[in-house]
Every structure is written in C-alpha cells, then in structure tokens.
Amino acid sequence: MAVVSIINQKGGVAKTTTALNVAASWAEQGKKVLLIDLDPQSSATKAIFSDREFEKTIFDVVIGQADIQDVIVHSEEFNIDVIPAEIMLSGIDMQLAAHFGREQILRKKLEPIHRKYDAILIDCSPSLGLMTINALLASKDIIIPICPEYFSMKGIELILATLRNIRSGLGYKIGVRGVVITRFRDRRVVNEVIQQVKERYDLKVYRNFIPDNIAVEEAHHHHLPVLKHAPRSRAAKAYKQLSKELWG
C-alpha cells in the first residue's frame, strides 16, 4: 500500500487532473484506490461529484468531529473511493494553530484504513500550508506535476527545501517519486525542462508526458475520467501509460 501526495504549490499545473486520472486508471487496472481531496477549492470533489453536498468532509475528520470511515464516498464513474473536501478547510491553519501535533493529524487518521487500499492518492492545494504538510507527513513519497510552459526552478526548490525541513525537524524521510510533465505543447521546451530538472535536482522525470488536450477539460465538465470520456484521446492514452509507469 502506498500513500502518494500530488504536490506543487504552483497553481494550475494539473495536480487535480493527474490525481483524478491516475486514480481512475489504477482502478481500471484492478487496484483499490482512495482519493483524498485536501484542497479547500474542492476541485477534485467537484470534478467527480458535481454540485453534490456532503454533510461531512475531510475537514470534519481533521478537526476531530467525524470518523474517517464515515466520510468515505464511492464514485461509480471513477470506480474509486473518495474523501471530499470543502471550503471550510481554508481556515484550518488558524483553527489548529494551538493544536499539539497538528502536522501529523492526517497520518494518524489514515493508519486504520491503510490496509483497505492498494493506493491512497492525496490531491493537495497550491500552497505549502498546514494541510499540505499533513499530506507530506502521511505520504511515503510525492509526485510533482510541472507544466513546462510555466516551469519555475524556484517552485521545485521550495518543495525540496520543505522535504529537507521535515526531515531535520520531524525526522521523516519523504522521497520524490518523480516529476510528471503535464499540459505540454512544445517538445523542445519539454526537453529543456527535463534537462534542467535532471541536472540540478537529480529527480526522475516520467517518460509519459501529458499533452495539452481539450479532452481533459471536457472530461471534467462531464464528471468523468478522461479515459472514460474520450478513451482514444491523446490525454487518455498518456494518462493510461503514465499510471502504469507510476505503479512500476
């Protein structure tokens, strides 16, 4: 069983899209998958369930007002279990400011359900706030999606510095599984970015890049994984291949 967080504090680099489509691909390959939405914007929750309201969400679990087992919902379309998010999460850093052990709440909450799943994926918000730190501490390792067209070295540096701080401050070693290239348009730009990432940070870059493809946006609107909405699209094929590469 692996807990993997999808992290990049930069917005719009396809964290949510990658979490949704990798989760659905793994499910299609027969894995039992839980996707946790840890973003107050709730993009993953909305992409899967549209406007459905949830009485309890990850927020209630983190503040200790719901049992984690009671907030898990199943999605038929994605064939995965989901823990939804809600906007209340946006104030949680303040709410937990005086809470002892606040960085490790999620890790502890996940322990009793680990064995139910082959993989737990966490979709993080574009910040390195308390919930992202909770995701990191609950994870064995992380996946960093980057969009070559808006790539910044500083972004990766900040993530790596956070991992180092967690290691020195709390004693947890969290690895980078690899970097996923998303929404790419131009191969030349991709090659330059890969070279920089490999040379400077010695990180693995997955071979299956995700092209910029309108099918992704359409799939979100239909509340389906792209591999169901448009199985023959370039994005669907790329996500399918990537999910195999990620598992191996």
Ligand X SMILES: Nc1ncnc2c1ncn2[C@@H]1O[C@H](COP(=O)(O)OP(=O)(O)OP(=O)(O)O)[C@@H](O)[C@H]1O
Q: How many residues bind Mg ion (CB under 5 A)?
A: 3
Among 139, 182, 233, 243, which residue sits at the site for ligand X (rule: CB under 6 A)?
182
Which of 201, 107, 97, 216 has the alpha carbon at shortest distance from 151? 201
Q: Which stretch binds ligand X (CB under 6 A): 49-57, 89-97, 192-200, 215-223?
A: 215-223
Shortest distance (Å) from residue 220 CB to ligand X: 5
Q: How far apart are CA 4 and CA 18, in angstroms?
A: 12
The answer to whether residue 16 forms part of the interface with ligand X (CB under 6 A) is: yes
Which of 85, 20, 69, 25 has the alpha carbon at shortest distance from 48? 20
Q: Which is nearer to Mg ion, 32 or 46 (CB)?
A: 46
115: tokens are 């064995």
The answer to whether residue 213 forms part of the interface with Mg ion (CB under 5 A) is: no
Extended strands (E) in the chain: 2-6, 33-38, 73-75, 80-83, 119-124, 141-146, 175-181
The partner in contact with residue 212, picked from ligand X, Mg ion, none with C-beta cut-offs of 5 to 8 angstroms by kind, is ligand X
The answer to whether residue 45 forms part of the interface with Mg ion (CB under 5 A) is: no
The answer to whether residue 132 forms part of the interface with Mg ion (CB under 5 A) is: no
Residues ≥6 apart with Cβ < 8 Å to 223: 47, 48, 49, 50, 77
Q: How far apart are CA 206 and CA 244, in angstroms?
A: 11
Among 10, 15, 177, 183, which residue sits at the site for Mg ion (rule: CB under 5 A)?
15
**Within 43-62, which residues bind ligand X (CB under 6 A)?**
43
Question: What's phi and psi for 188, nearest 5 deg?
Answer: -65, -45
Shortest distance (Å) from residue 16 CB to Mg ion: 3
Among 8, 21, 25, 43, which residue sits at the site for Mg ion (rule: CB under 5 A)?
43
Shortest distance (Å) from residue 179 CB to ligand X: 14
32: tokens are 């039992």
The partner in contact with residue 58, picked from Mg ion, ligand X, none with C-beta cut-offs of 5 to 8 angstroms by kind, is none
Give exposure, 43-76, as e/b (b: 16+ Cβ within 10 Å): bbbbbbbeeeebebbbbbbbeeebebeebbbebe
Contact string (CB under 6 A) for ligand X, positions 223-242, x = contact: ------------x-------
209 torsion bin: left (phi>0), alpha (psi -120 to 50), beta (else): beta
Please count the CA atoms within 13 angstroms of the CA of 68 that sit on its side-chain side.
17
Contact string (CB under 6 A) for ligand X, positions 94-133, x = contact: --------------------------------x-------
The answer to whether residue 11 forms part of the interface with ligand X (CB under 6 A) is: yes
Contact residues toward ligand X (CB under 6 A) are: 11-17, 39, 43, 126, 182-183, 210, 212-213, 216-217, 220, 235
